[in-house]
Homo-oligomer: A and B are copies of this chain.
Amino acid sequence: MKNTNKKSRIILAVNMRKFRQKLGLSQEELAYNSGLHRTYISSVERAERNISIDALEKIATAFSISLNQLLEE
């Protein structure tokens, strides 16, 4: 079974933007709250990064949501 379309990266990118805007956070503010770099946040929102589970947890924590909420379709 091949992973061809990076569907999960796109779901994540859409949800990140949605939660970020819902909380009125800029990418800079999310970066600060999650302990990740702004350019990293930006590339994840463009579905360019193969982000790790530990970094996903940092983002979910910054949004005060669970990891499965962050990845909900």
Point out residues on A near B: beta carbons under 8 Å.
Answer: 1-3, 6-9, 11-12, 33-35, 50-54, 56-58, 60-62, 66-69, 71-73
Contact = CB atoms under 8 A, between A and B. Distances in A.
Main secondary structure of the interface of A (DSSP, over half): helix
Given A3-B61, A68-B69, 15 more contacts: A1-B34, A1-B35, A1-B62, A2-B35, A3-B35, A3-B54, A3-B57, A6-B54, A7-B57, A9-B53, A9-B54, A53-B56, A68-B68, A68-B73, A71-B71
Contacts of A67: 8, 11, 71
A66 B71 CA distance: 9
B8 A56 contact: yes
